[in-house]
Structure 1
Amino acid sequence: MAKTKIDIAMDIVKEQIANKSLIAGSRLPSVRQLATQLNFSVSTIVEAYTRLVSAGILESRIGAGYFVVGHVVQAQVFETKIQYQREIDPLWISRQSLDAKSNVFKPGCGWLPNSWMPEQTVRKALKQVAKSETELLIDYAVPNGHLQLRQWIARRKQNYDLNLDLEQILITDSATQSIDLIFRLLLQAGDVILVDDPCYFNFQALIKAHHLKAVAIPFTEHGPDIEHFKQALSLKPKIYLTNSGIHNPTGASLSIQTAFQVAKLAEQANLMIIEDEIFADFEYQHAPRYASLAGFEHVIQIGSFTKTLSAAVRCGYIIANTQKIEALIDLRIATNFSHSNLNAEIVYHALMDSGYLKHIDWLKKQLVKAMNESIYKLALLDIHPWIIPKAGIFLWCRLPKDILASALSKYCLKNDVILAPGNAFSQADGAAHFMRFNVAQCIDKRIFDVLEAGIREIRKHDHIDDD
């Protein structure tokens, strides 16, 4: 981005300090003098000096002016040491992806490239929100959260034959925070919870943090395996946590038959279904929702706007019956008091912008193209998807029989490619030979070159060991 006049003025001062034209204790030109020299406004120089004071570079002395600080303490920045042995830790992939430099490829992460996000829509929303009334910019949100955003969510849910009271919707700061709140409300340490196998690795991390007992239900191309689900009910689980719409990591979509059977079993067993529909906007055709089949007595629905709008503007939601929402509000006030009303306002303005719907249409087309290209390029390496997803960003792929996902992940990480090995999503024996790929992050040819080199290197060492 082009530098502002404030940035230019700050850079001039920093350069003079760096080349010793200004030394510790030196008095700077007055704001009027520097403004005249640079042909800038006085307010610009005041802002530049003020920012340099905040940065600890200058100090302001009342009645005397601005002076160079005698000794500036620079915080040391240490490069994070990569722990290659953590490749099957559920949090490892996220930490490496979040910490990765710009030159690192991230086909194992769970989000879209920055260039695929609606940056201009977000910028436009930021400008609109900046003009809002003081109350919105400064004050806490109402207990249920941003009213207009809840109205938008309620209108959207009508597409799933759900007619919601606005009091059934609670705005949160993220889908992860939503799950954490629900766990705090409904569960105690040692309680049994059902999850899909494989499942999103952060589900496992949250389960571990709450000291719960997880029972894995094999996930088929149509949803959870019904027979295993029935058997697991004998353990008296309190919650079934799953993705509705597009499943993570497999990309599979729930069938109406499976959804109906699971909803019926949950009702009979007094089991609460938590359905995370965070990838809903990627769907071409809506997959069944448990909430549509069973209502909100036995279903809680969560989601966020991270995947298609902005990961920086954190905002999510919970939909449940009013009794549970009331209890969740009390819990949220006790633990976090409120949510970011400012973020919710930004999200609302972005969602209402005509450019957002156009972006979603464009995004779906790009994902179809990326999906087909990724399947083709992976097949050349004898890496094949478990199923061909109907939509979304993920491929759950089976590696060649002689290749372990952990070994391939280690090799690729050392060559600036972060992968998502199967053991992060499942403890089943076969998971060691699976990998989750984010097709939107698989555009660059170099990713496949590194994969090919890694497979070749692993086979070479295996051959030497055999000899």
Structure 2
Amino acid sequence: MRLEIDSKTGVPLTDQLVDQIESLIRGRRVLAGAKLPSIRQLAADQKISRFPVIEAYDRLASLGLIQPKHGSGFYVAGHIDDAERGNGRCNPRLAEEESNQILQQFNYPGETLKLSSGFIPESWRDVDGLTQAIRHASRMDVSSVIDYAMPYGDASLRHQVQMRLHLLGIDADLKNLMITCGASQALDLVVRFMLKPGDTVFVEDPGYYNLFGLLKLQGVKLVGVPRLATGPDVDAAEELLKIHQPKLFFINTVFQNPTATNVAPQVAFKLLQLAQQYGFSLVEDDIYADFQAVPTQRLASLDQLDRVIYVGGLSKTLSSSLRIGYIAANAELVKNLVDVKVLTSLGGTRFSEAVAANLLERGTYRKYLERLRRRVRDALSGAVQQLEACGWDVFDEPSGGNFVWARVPGIDDSTVLVDEALKYGVTLAPGNYYRPSGDDCAYVRINSAHTGDARAVRFFEAMGERVPKN
């Protein structure tokens, strides 16, 4: 493998290594399966430090061009289709109540602790990595600052999403993928195209209240299916299917909002059997996927995008402001959803897509996720112990993520907790927000990232004192 690295050009050594090795691989001058020189050997051959070689190999692995094999070294990955991937570069072508519930987590008056918020703290985010990627995109891809995005989304970002889905066992081609302005737009596009007023859908109870509002806005009938620790209650769903004919069933697979539980494999199989038997499709909302270090079973990996529409995104982990989401589905449906996207918003935000692609390509996002997962895991474990020590009941053991679905024994209506929390400078969303029917609920959603705050501690302890003594 002949490389010409020149430290006097002003081009970073890492960039030179990445560009030249990428060119060799894409030009088939280094074939799939070939072993690359070790980090030590390549550094010695080029008379450079090992650090730019380490970073270059990391970026090439993030691009899917090479694969590390533990204890063996680095190898060229499988077939790379330049025409399909565009060389990894993007060229331009082409109801009041629910709203108020959502707005409360943004602009509730005063300096209260928003204990039910859905966000991770700013201090946990990789702000430095974000700003570096923003500067890089502004400097190296000026057109991304001013031009429309491609309807399907940035080519390199779609390729990164494709590789991430492959790790989950979802074999999606690029024609099965589109980038959206957050997972919220992804859900909106599905609802706009696939549903009409009067249609029926199944949702989880409790579940994602923003989705409930969106569906109600479209005049869609919601039927709640109880959420258990193992996923939707499939026995209840089967009974409901004898009465209703849903077009779609919306499900959170991993770290469900708000219960933080996962769909068990046997439940996933049964859901797919019911979908086939009764003729509905499943919308798998997997927005919390990146919080999970070791992937569990996805509906889309079992179904391979036949009856499953898979939705994901980066807003919950990377940046809420960048608004990066995506849809994986059968190619014909994706094409139709792209048409709806163009009609309603012309396209995505090309600059945000370029920034996100840069973070994924360089491996910055992967390293950040490793740190974030540890922090989230520790916070969640501490929150559960803290609540249980105060006498609260936790809905099963959370599988991960940053939510705890909990209640105070003896208090059947969580609005009591909401009122009490204000006395301690804490705001909570009542549990009925998370129910499609809006019925009373004893549980509240708690963001584990904020449970260490002194205001939260005092509130937990005060409510714990109201737990009936045996």
TM-score of Structure 1 vs Structure 2, range by shorter chain: 0.7 to 0.9
Q: Contact conserved, 2:203 with 2:436, CA < 8 A, in 1?
A: no
Q: Is 1:166 the counterpart of 2:182 in the alignment?
A: no
1:187 Cα offset (Å): 0.4
In our comparison, the structure showing a higher alpha carbon Rg is 1
Measure, in 1, the Cα distance between the counterparts of 2:371 and 2:276: 39
Q: Contact conserved, 1:394 with 1:439, CA < 8 A, in 2?
A: yes
Q: Tell me what 1:324 maps to.
A: 333
Q: Contact conserved, 2:424 with 2:458, CA < 8 A, in 1?
A: no
Q: Tell me what 1:117 maps to.
A: 125
Q: Tell me what 1:441 maps to.
A: 450
Q: Is 1:190 the counterpart of 2:190 in the alignment?
A: no
Aligned pair in 2 of structure 1 residues 159, 253: CA closer, same or farther (>3 Å)?
Answer: same
Q: Contact conserved, 1:150 with 1:166, CA < 8 A, in 2?
A: yes
What is the CA deviation profile of residues 151-198 of structure 1, one whole-angstrom value per residue up to 9, with x for unaligned ones? 001111111222221111111101111111111100000100000111
Identity of aligned residues (%): 29
Measure, in 2, the Cα distance between the counterparts of 1:429 and 1:303: 26
Give, as a single letter, the amino acid of the residue that structure 1 aligns with 2:298.
Answer: R
Residues matched between the structures, number: 372
Give, as a single letter, the amino acid of the residue that structure 2 aligns with 1:238.
Answer: K
Counterpart of 2:155 (choices 147, 151, 154) is: 147
Q: Secondary structure at the match of 2:341?
A: helix
Q: Tell me what 2:262 maps to.
A: 253
1:280 Cα offset (Å): 0.3
1:45-444 residue pairs with structure 2 within 5 A?
90-100=98-108, 103-234=111-242, 235-402=244-411, 404-413=413-422, 415-426=424-435, 432-444=441-453
What is the CA deviation profile of residues 291-323 of structure 1, one whole-angstrom value per residue up to 9, with x for unaligned ones? 111222211111111111111111111111110
Measure, in 2, the Cα distance between the counterparts of 1:118 and 1:328: 32
Aligned pair in 2 of structure 1 residues 113, 100: CA closer, same or farther (>3 Å)?
Answer: farther
Q: Which 5+ residue runs of structure 1 have no aligned equivalent? A: 1-87, 460-467
Q: Contact conserved, 1:90 with 1:202, CA < 8 A, in 2?
A: yes
Measure, in 2, the Cα distance between the counterparts of 1:456 and 1:424: 26
Q: Contact conserved, 1:223 with 1:253, CA < 8 A, in 2?
A: yes
What is the CA deviation profile of residues 276-295 of structure 1, one whole-angstrom value per residue up to 9, with x for unaligned ones? 11100111322211111122
1:427 Cα offset (Å): 5.8
Measure, in 1, the Cα distance between the counterparts of 2:419 and 2:357: 41
Give, as a single letter, the amino acid of the residue that structure 2 aligns with 1:223.
Answer: G
Q: Contact conserved, 2:224 with 2:437, CA < 8 A, in 1?
A: no
1:93 Cα offset (Å): 4.5
Measure, in 1, the Cα distance between the counterparts of 2:341 and 2:412: 46
Measure, in 1, the Cα distance between the counterparts of 2:467 and 2:97: 21
Q: Secondary structure at the match of 1:318?
A: strand
Q: Contact conserved, 1:415 with 1:450, CA < 8 A, in 2?
A: yes
Q: Contact conserved, 1:407 with 1:458, CA < 8 A, in 2?
A: no
The CA RMSD over aligned residues, in Å, is: 2.3
Measure, in 1, the Cα distance between the counterparts of 2:301 and 2:351: 31
Q: Contact conserved, 1:244 with 1:287, CA < 8 A, in 2?
A: no
What is the CA deviation profile of residues 406-445 of structure 1, one whole-angstrom value per residue up to 9, with x for unaligned ones? 0221232354312132111126799521111110122212
Q: Secondary structure at the match of 1:287?
A: coil
Aligned pair in 2 of structure 1 residues 350, 414: CA closer, same or farther (>3 Å)?
Answer: farther
Aligned pair in 2 of structure 1 residues 277, 96: CA closer, same or farther (>3 Å)?
Answer: same
Aligned pair in 2 of structure 1 residues 394, 325: CA closer, same or farther (>3 Å)?
Answer: same
Give, as a single letter, the amino acid of the residue that structure 2 aligns with 1:406.
Answer: T
Measure, in 2, the Cα distance between the counterparts of 1:240 and 1:432: 22
1:90 Cα offset (Å): 4.4
Aligned pair in 2 of structure 1 residues 129, 427: CA closer, same or farther (>3 Å)?
Answer: closer
Using the size of structure 1 for normalisation, the TM-score is 0.75
1:458 Cα offset (Å): 11
Q: Contact conserved, 2:391 with 2:467, CA < 8 A, in 1?
A: no
Q: Tell me what 1:464 maps to.
A: none
Q: Contact conserved, 2:408 with 2:463, CA < 8 A, in 1?
A: no
Q: Contact conserved, 2:193 with 2:337, CA < 8 A, in 1?
A: yes
Measure, in 1, the Cα distance between the counterparts of 2:354 and 2:331: 23
